[in-house]
Structure formats: structure tokens, C-alpha cells
Structure 1
Amino acid sequence: MTFTVGRGELFGLLGPNGAGKTTTIKLLNTLLIPTSGTARICGHDVEKDTREVRRRIGYVFGGDRGLYDRLSALDNLRYFAELYGVAPRDQKRRIGDLLELVGLTGREGERVEGYSRGMRQRLHIARGLLHSPDVLFLDEPSIGVDPVAARELRRTVADLASTGTTVLLTTHYMAEADELCDRIAVIADGQIQALGTPAELRHRADGRRVVEVEAYGVPDSAVDALRGLPGVRETAVEARGALQLLTVHSDAHVDVQGDVLRELAGIRLGRVDSREPTLEDAYVAIVSAA
């Protein structure tokens, strides 16, 4: 697997669970030693020049770890600033700038234990930027964050990228990758299956139509029948509690919606929609072909 990320670029890594996203991040972060091949950060080998690499990177991961709940946000940042070797004369200005960047100015005196998930994630980003890294790794930063907080988090990441920091982002949220990333690599089985801008990747789903059906209690036999319909390329089933979302990819010139509904006759249905493919649809097509 070979790829290059340009200075100041916001680069996304997408792939199913187990594809190798987090492993790639940990290799680049010097947390894992590569068994073969080489990787360089700002010209420094991650295995031979570990100290130099660590001076130039920041790492933000999704979840609740990495902060001290009983300390305020300000005290957390002061503590990590000492660990990162930020000069005492620069700490107050740097922390103030970062609190403004992540939208926590005015809340920095509160204990982190009272923060929402979204606020914690924004504080994680501030922590990862304390030492002004050249490269920031964001490993699924919006996991478990509610939609409003996720939108604020995306705005923070976009503002960060505009300052010239190189950002490498892993995520399972296609809309997030589509909105933020300059380029995206889709990986599966440890290999890059597609690489390009979001618009270029969407072209991988050209010549398709997508039918989405919300249904309840769809038997496996009906799903198999959908997959066998003329013109159908892929059919995916996503469970959402008692509800199932059926996504049927077909050739653009074949109208399969009527056939799909006939195969689902007698099954309780909800929303039925036919639309153009999105980045998520292109991602499904790429991963399914891997």
C-alpha cells in the first residue's frame, strides 16, 4: 500500500472494520513497528527517526480516553503543554488560541467530567495541537458524537485544515469524508482499492441507480431474490432495530424499483426512494469489488 499526502492536505482513509485504517495510523504514529516497507513523515523515517517524527505529529482518537475528567479543560491543556515541551512563555497564548479554535472559550474553567462527548472531542483536538504539529492524525474523531456536535467538530477540522496543518482522517461517516477531505483512499484487506478526490470516487458509481427501501421482517429468501433481479449489481441490508434498510444498486438504464417492490409484496414497507449514487454508494461499490 503506497500513498503520499501533501503538506496542508486533508486526506481521508476509508475502509471497513479490519481493513487496516487504525493500523496504518499507528504505524505512521510510531506506535507500531512496520514488518516491511517504509513510511516517512516530513522526510523522517518512522522507524529510524522516531524522535523527530514524534516532534512533528499530533494524534487524536475517538472515545473518552486521554483526558483527566476531574481537571478543568484549562488544567488539562496546561498539563499536556508541559508534557509536549511547550515553552512556559508560549503556553498561555497557545492555549488561548486553541480554545478559540475549538470553540471552548468561556468553558475552559469547567471540569471535563461535565463536558458533552462533542466538547471532549474538541478538547482532544486542542490537546493534539498544543505543540504545533506539522501533521495531525484524527482517528474516527466523531465516533459516538451526536449530529449537532459532529457538525461543530467538522467545522473545527475544516478551520484547522485552512491553517495549513496536514490532516490525516479516518472515519466511517461518508458525509464527513465527502465534506472535509481533499482526497480519499479506500482500503480493504490492507490494500488501497481507490484513491482520488470525493468527486473522482463518486464516478466509480457512475452508470448506476440506487433504490432504498425501508422494510420490516424481510426474509433472507427475499433478499436473495432481489440480488438475482436483472440489472441489479449489489444489494445491502442494514438493520436499524426492527427496521431494515435495503439498498439496491442497479444499472442506470434499468428501472428495478417495480421489480423490487413486487419481490417485497406482503412485507410491511416504509419509505421507498430512487436516487443518484452518493460517495457512500461509490464506497460500497469499491469495497464490494475488492
Structure 2
Amino acid sequence: MTTPVKAAIEVRALRKEFPVRDKGIFGPRGVKRAVDGLDLDVPRGRITGLLGLNGAGKTTTIKTVATLLRPTSGRVTVDGLDTVTDARAVRRRINLIAGGERMVYTRMTGRENLWYFGQLYDVPKKELRPRIDDLLALVGLTDVADTMVERYSRGMTQRLAIARGLVNRPAYLLLDEPTLGLDAPIARDLRRVVARLAEEGTGVLLTSHYLAEVEELCGHVYVISAGRHLAAGSPAELKAATGTHRTIRLTVTTPSPATAAVATRFGADLELLSTGAELITLRHPDDMAGPLAAAIVEAGGSIGGLEIAEASLEDAILALADGSREAATV
């Protein structure tokens, strides 16, 4: 009895190294390890995030999954197909949208680009013509569909690259900073499209520096540093695991020893402002703004301002990266 193939992108023990020279072209040849033993899964019907600071290995990982780079060791499969030995079959199942990289031809019109790439993916011509019209409308390029891409702005070119990435209706969509350089309305529309694709069964792997975008879209996130796995989970789980809490900032216009005692009891930090007021800062996983404000008023203090900042995924990523750096120096 054969084991059924798991419908997912599976990355196992992935390692990718690049040759480098330490001292110019005549220096000794060395190796830079961009990805170091990475495991991850991208199932159908889920948006999976891949996060880390610059140089963490995110783009190298995505390009390896996309068959643009060959693993130094380890294995990547897409629906059981190996990205090296079955590269042609894998490419029929995936597509890549990378912000900041030219992925279309500037000496062709927008419509010609989509027609060309659609034929590369063997999209039947009867299906391709209406699909091109739909994609051009989706990214707001209908009016310039027959204009040479070299006359497009950077944002328009990126929007065309998004349409190109959807032309074959991929089972898996790889997004490397897809909204980089896009206007807010187009970025919002792209997020809606990606969310709908996942609901319809597409597997999505997303890297982005816009972490609010990741929190909005991703059900599961991998965090890497120097090509190594640091943590994985939902955005909420990552924030909880790193002790990333919401921040409450309360300004007391009439500070006194009694209000200072309240702040100490809550475990908050105190800062005397140049105006004579006192700033109380409390970081806590629970919503403590109400109890803190009530206790300050009860102690005779007057509240001049209250701000609440929710815990952010960015704080969690920075905490994980800092922890990784500290471990590396031990």
C-alpha cells in the first residue's frame, strides 16, 4: 500500500552555501552559509509567513523553493515532487512574486507580457485571453495594457509582476516582499486577493517587512536568523512566547508619593517629565489600563493622558533575534 503524498511544500534540512572571497577577487575562497538546516511546511489553504531580520536567509529559501537555486544539501518537495529532479513539474504548480526585482520584460506591453508568460505555463489560449483581462483589471492596469512596460512607473511594473505571478493559477504562491513599492490601495487589494486564494485552497509562503501585513494574513509564521530556525507559531503565539506585552503609558499631572507607590505596586516604570508631570509605563499581557487608572485616581492623582500600544509582532521578532545573538556569543 502506497503512502499518500502530502499536499504541501516540505523543506527538510535545507542548507544553501555560496562561494565567497574574503579579500577581493584574489583573496582566499570561502563559503557563506545562507540557509543552515531549515525545516518548514507550507500546506494548501494556508498563508505561511517566513520572517527574520535582513540577511536571515528568507529570499534564499524562497528562491530555492522556486527552483531558482539548487540546495547544497537537504531536500525541498512540492506535492511530493523534488525541486531538483522534478523541477519542470514543480514549476507548473508554483509561481513567484518578488518585490523590488524586475520580473517582466520592459520592451513588451503589459498584455504581451501576460500572454507570453501564460504560454510558458501552457495555459490554453481560450482561457488565457479572458484571464489576462481579469488580471489587468485586478491590478489596475487595464488603461495601460497596450503600453510598453518601459514607460510604466515602478509601482505599475510591480503590479504587472503580481498579475504575471497569478497567470497560471498556481497551487502554491511564493511572495517575497510582494507589496514593496506599491500604493496603499493596490497593496490592500493584493492582500485581499491572497487571502481569497488561500481560502480557495492555494498554499502561500510570504516574506514581508510590513509585519502588520503578516499579522493580518498569516495563520502560521516561521522565524529564522542566519538561516536557522528560531521559532514557529501563530503571530499571537510568538508574541506570548517572547513575553511581548501591550504597553500602557499614563501621564499623572499631580504626582505624589501615593501615586508613585501605586506605580510601584503595579510593577510600572516611573519617569519625571520636564513639565513636572510623571509618566507611568506598564508592560503587561493583560489589559491593566482600567485598574491602573482607577488606582491612580483613588490615590489622589489627576490623569493627563493615557495611551495603550498593543503588543507587536515586530517586538517579538526583535526579541527572538536578540536572544539568538546572545546565544551565539555565549
State the partner residue of 1:193.
230
How far 1:100 sits from its partner (Å)? 3.9
How far 1:150 sits from its partner (Å)? 2.6
49 and 273 in structure 1: CA distance in 2 versus 1, 3 angstrom threshold: same
How far 1:103 sits from its partner (Å)? 4.2
Give the structure with higher Rg (CA).
Answer: 2
Are the equivalent residues in 2 in contact too, given 1:60–1:128 (CA < 8 A)?
Answer: yes
Cα distance in 2 between the residues matched to 1:40 and 1:120: 31
State the partner residue of 2:203.
166
How far 1:122 sits from its partner (Å)? 2.7
2:312 pairs with one of 254, 275, 278: 278
Q: Quick one: percent identity of the two aligned structures?
A: 48
State the partner residue of 1:14.
51
How far 1:104 sits from its partner (Å)? 3.7
Correspondence 1:218-233 to 2 at 5 A: none
State the partner residue of 1:180.
217
State the partner residue of 2:271.
258
2:66 pairs with one of 16, 29, 54: 29
State the partner residue of 1:61.
98
Q: Which runs of 5+ in 2 are unaligned?
A: 1-37, 250-264, 276-305, 325-330
How far 1:256 sits from its partner (Å)? 2.5
Cα distance in 2 between the residues matched to 1:14 and 1:177: 9
State the partner residue of 2:176.
139
How far 1:196 sits from its partner (Å)? 1.3
SS in 1 for 2:75: coil
Cα distance in 1 between the residues matched to 2:126 and 2:192: 29
SS in 2 for 1:137: strand
How far 1:169 sits from its partner (Å)? 0.8
Cα distance in 2 between the residues matched to 1:100 and 1:163: 20
TM-score (norm. length: structure 2): 0.65
SS in 2 for 1:3: strand
Range 166-175 or range 138-147, more displaced: 138-147
Cα distance in 1 between the residues matched to 2:186 and 2:230: 31
Counterpart of 1:276, as a letter, is E
Which is strand-richer, 1 or 2? Answer: 2
State the partner residue of 2:35.
none
How far 1:69 sits from its partner (Å)? 2.9
Cα distance in 2 between the residues matched to 1:159 and 1:143: 20
State the partner residue of 2:136.
99
Superimposed CA distance per residue, residues 186-209 of structure 1 (whole angstroms, 9 cap, x where no aligned partner): 111212212112222222344635
Are the equivalent residues in 2 in contact too, given 1:205–1:277 (CA < 8 A)?
Answer: no
Counterpart of 1:66, as a letter, is M
Cα distance in 1 between the residues matched to 2:272 and 2:248: 11
Cα distance in 1 between the residues matched to 2:74 and 2:132: 38
Q: Is the counterpart of residue 87 in structure 1 residue 124 in structure 2?
A: yes
148 and 94 in structure 1: CA distance in 2 versus 1, 3 angstrom threshold: closer
Quote the RMSD (CA, aligned, Å).
Answer: 3.0
Range 51-60 or range 64-73, more displaced: 64-73
Cα distance in 2 between the residues matched to 1:122 and 1:42: 29
SS in 1 for 2:48: strand
Cα distance in 2 between the residues matched to 1:260 and 1:189: 41
206 and 119 in structure 1: CA distance in 2 versus 1, 3 angstrom threshold: same
Q: RCO (CA 8 Å, sep 6+): is it higher in 1 or 2?
A: 1
208 and 179 in structure 1: CA distance in 2 versus 1, 3 angstrom threshold: closer
State the partner residue of 1:289.
323
Are the equivalent residues in 2 in contact too, given 1:102–1:123 (CA < 8 A)?
Answer: yes
274 and 109 in structure 1: CA distance in 2 versus 1, 3 angstrom threshold: same
SS in 2 for 1:289: helix
Aligned residues: 244
Cα distance in 1 between the residues matched to 2:44 and 2:308: 40
Superimposed CA distance per residue, residues 156-178 of structure 1 (whole angstroms, 9 cap, x where no aligned partner): 32233333221111111101101
Are the equivalent residues in 2 in contact too, given 1:118–1:150 (CA < 8 A)?
Answer: no
Cα distance in 2 between the residues matched to 1:260 and 1:147: 37
